[in-house]
Amino acid sequence: MQESLRREWNGDVDLGNGVLERLKSDYDGRVDVSESVKKVERINRKDLKKVLSDIGETLKFDVEFLSKGLGKGVEVFRMKFNQVNAPEETLKSLNLDIVEFHTLLGQASDFSIAIKDSLNILDQKEINHPVADARKCWLKHCKNYLVYLRNLWKKKRECATHILVFMLLDERRDKNPYAIPLQYVPYHSIRDQELRDLVKNITLELTKANLKVVGTTTDGEFEQLRRRGDTRPLHIWQLAHDAKESVRKMNKTTLLQMLQLIQGE
């Protein structure tokens, strides 16, 4: 479950670049606009028309997003289907993705029709209570609309599968015999440059706190980054590698001369 009953999000990819915050803000805005019709009973014609029109406009963007997602899903499914050794579970998952996009497109179309019906009621002058009738017309769909929004945002959100933990360790371990966690970053996939930016920000904050960063290291998953870093920092692995490369083509005589102890020095 990614969303709690209190509309709190969990389990999303968060690289600290503000993308997740904007996604959450857009979602909360859509929910608040819909619920404003439900909460305010004495809303006037002008305000109700604006709210319904805003919902109708956002539904147009939804249809565009879902249509692209459906087209891409069908393309990927056909590509995998034509492969001889395509796993059955993969095909089932891709097919389910297509069904979900198709269902959401149908729901977006239904809600667009409901919005148009409510707006038509507001424009009819012969009706005694156009605002109340238009509000009642939309409230019949409001609950399902919130479920639609939650399912729509599942297509926009990215579920994290890993957690990257940054830890601070005393070089000599004479202060703390263990590493101190500084930051954790949920992610699904992450580029080396994104990881370098995260390390750079942490290093900057440590420098501001008068802590001297003497080096960084990572586990095997980021082996290439561990060796090179953002500007090829001097790592012990790199020192050993460069030393081996520098003497690999030297002959035996030269190496023996380099190892001889010179008297008086």
Query: Which has more pLDDT, 8 or 1?
Result: 8
State pLDDT tens for residues 66-75: 999 999 999 9
Per residue in 175-213, pLDDT tens? 666 788 889 999 988 887 888 888 888 889 988 998 888
**Does residue 230 register a pLDDT over 60?**
no
Looking at per-residue pLDDT, the higher value among 116 and 226 belongs to: 116
Give the up-direction half-sphere exposure of residue 87: CA atoms within 13 A in the CB hemisphere. 4
What is the pLDDT, as a whole number, of residue 196?
82
The phi, psi pair for 202, rounded to 5°, reads -65, -45
Average pLDDT, the chain: 84
Q: Find the mean pLDDT for residues 215-228.
A: 63
Q: What is the DSSP letter of 60?
A: H
DSSP state of 159: B
- The pLDDT tens digits of the residues spanning 136-180 come to 888 899 899 999 999 999 999 988 988 989 888 876 666 666 788
Distance from C-alpha of 104 to C-alpha of 62, rounded to nearest angstrom: 9
pLDDT at 96: 94
Q: Is the pTM of this model over 0.85?
A: no
Mean pLDDT of 43-66: 91
Q: What is the pLDDT of residue 97?
A: 93
What pLDDT shows up at residue 40?
A: 67
| pLDDT score for 17 | 85
- Burial of 199-225, coded b for 16+ CB within 10 Å and e otherwise, reads beebeeeeeeeeeeeeebebeeebeeb
Beta-bridged to residue 184, according to DSSP, are 165
Percent of the chain with pLDDT over 90: 35
Identify the DSSP state of 262.
P
- Note the pLDDT of residue 226: 53
Give the per-residue pLDDT at 224.
58
pLDDT at residue 107 is higher than 80:
yes
Q: Is the pLDDT of residue 76 over 60?
A: yes
